[in-house]
């Protein structure tokens, strides 16, 4: 088989049942070569010696190590944007763990259920990695040819449904909700700093939408907005959405009375105001911020 269509995957997993599950599934798929190791030490050695195309990592490894430790060690001798990885994380792990693994180049984080089994199967993981590997190979070839490689921000996907799911989950990880008794919100039709989706005013502050467009390069703005709407609908109640819809309509009505004037400020005791969490790769690199909730102080 053409080596360009073949994918060599390294699974680092200490659960024998999970290992057997992946081995049984991938053994019958043409063009998939799966290697399995059980510890971080073996995983680092395998990456150094075999240079796989992609990684599937259990987050909690033996030796008191995690997938983050493994990625930290690997990146001392290889560019992580040339080896996409998927992390399988036990349910109950917080967003900070998700953020850190994604900060180290993980293409996606899937959580395990209470029984310890991943909520998604080997075929879904393989489908995701198949989309990432060609991009990783291009980056490797560019470096070998001495071509400057732009900073890796995210992995692009072409499937609309996948994009919607990933955008919604991305927001769930990277955006915090702040609720106050008296919040002020600017509302007006066409104002750039806000976007109205699903009856909710999301204050973008010129950050969320550009970051999503950068993260999901294969997505149209319409798809991004649908993903944001899915997130908002999952994070709020119908009553809250109705309240925000009324606020939006009233503010828009006032603002349009006098064309050209700045929109009026309106008050709402139930305004929900999302704000950007100091999270992971994009904001850390762009502004030098630290991930919120990690115990680290913000850098100025």
Cβ neighbours of residue 70 closer than 8 Å, sequence gap 6 or more? 12, 40, 43, 44, 57, 61
Determine the Cα–Cα distance for residues 201 and 246; give it in Å rounded to an integer. 11
Total number of residues shown for the chain: 300
pLDDT band at 38 (very low <50, low <70, confident <90, very high): very high
Note the pLDDT of residue 36: 96
CA gap 161, 150 in Å, rounded: 27
Report the pLDDT value the prediction gives residue 236, as an integer from 0 to 100: 53
pLDDT attached to residue 94: 46
CA distances from 145 to 73, 135, 141, 204 (A): 26, 16, 6, 39
Mean pLDDT of the 242-261 span: 46
Q: Are strands 32-37 and 106-112 parallel, antiparallel or unpaired?
A: unpaired
Q: Is the Cα torsion angle 212, 5, 38, 88 positive or negative in sign?
A: positive
- Give the closest residue to 195 by CA, choosing from 161, 171, 223, 229: 229
DSSP string, 20-60: HHHHHHHTTSTTEEEEEE-SHHHHHHHHHHH--SEEEEESB
pLDDT of residue 9: 95
**Closest-CA residue to 275 (of 194, 203, 200, 182):** 203
Q: Is the pLDDT of residue 212 over 60?
A: yes
- Say whether pLDDT at 134 is over 90: no
| Ordered domains of the chain (ranges, CATH) | 7-144 (3.40.50.2300), 160-287 (no CATH)
Per-residue tokens: 13: 């997993």
Structure tokens at 189: 């039709």
Q: Coil, strand, or helix at residue 18?
A: helix
Phi, psi of 205 (to 5 degrees): 55, 35
**Range with the lowest mean pLDDT among 88-102, 175-189, 246-260?**
175-189
Neighbours of 297 (CB within 10 A): 7
Higher pLDDT, 249 or 125: 125
Averaged pLDDT for residues 255-270? 38
Please give the residue that has the higher pLDDT: either 80 or 92.
80
Q: Give the Cα separation of 95 and 105 in Å (integer).
A: 16
Task: Note the pLDDT of residue 45.
Answer: 96
């Amino acid at each position: 088989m053409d080596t360009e269509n073949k994918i060599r995957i390294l699974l680092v997993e200490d659960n024998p049942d999970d290992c057997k599950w992946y081995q049984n599934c991938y053994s019958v798929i043409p063009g998939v070569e799966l290697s399995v190791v059980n510890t971080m030490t073996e995983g680092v050695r395998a990456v150094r010696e075999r240079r796989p195309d992609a990684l599937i990592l259990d987050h909690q490894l033996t030796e008191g190590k995690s997938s983050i430790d493994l990625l930290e060690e690997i990146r001392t001798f290889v560019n992580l944007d040339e080896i996409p990885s998927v992390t399988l994380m036990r349910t109950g792990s917080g967003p900070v763990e998700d953020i850190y693994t994604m900060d180290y180049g993980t293409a996606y984080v899937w959580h395990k259920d209470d029984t310890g089994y991943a909520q998604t199967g080997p075929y879904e993981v393989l489908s995701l990695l198949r989309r990432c590997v060609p991009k990783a190979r291009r980056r490797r070839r560019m470096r070998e040819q001495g071509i400057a490689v732009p900073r890796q921000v995210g992995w692009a996907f072409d499937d609309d449904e996948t994009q919607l799911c990933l955008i919604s989950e991305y927001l769930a990880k990277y955006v915090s909700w702040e609720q106050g008794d008296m919040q002020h919100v600017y509302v007006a039709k066409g104002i750039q700093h806000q976007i109205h989706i699903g009856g909710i005013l999301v204050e973008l502050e010129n950050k969320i939408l550009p970051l999503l467009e950068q993260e999901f390069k294969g997505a149209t703005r319409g798809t991004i907005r649908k993903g944001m709407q899915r997130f908002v609908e999952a994070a709020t109640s119908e009553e809250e959405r109705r309240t925000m819809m009324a606020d939006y309509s009233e503010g828009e009505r006032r603002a349009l009375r006098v064309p050209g004037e700045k929109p009026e400020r309106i008050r709402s005791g139930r305004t929900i105001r999302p704000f950007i969490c100091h999270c992971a790769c994009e904001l850390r690199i762009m502004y030098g911020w630290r991930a919120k909730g990690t115990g680290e102080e913000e850098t100025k």
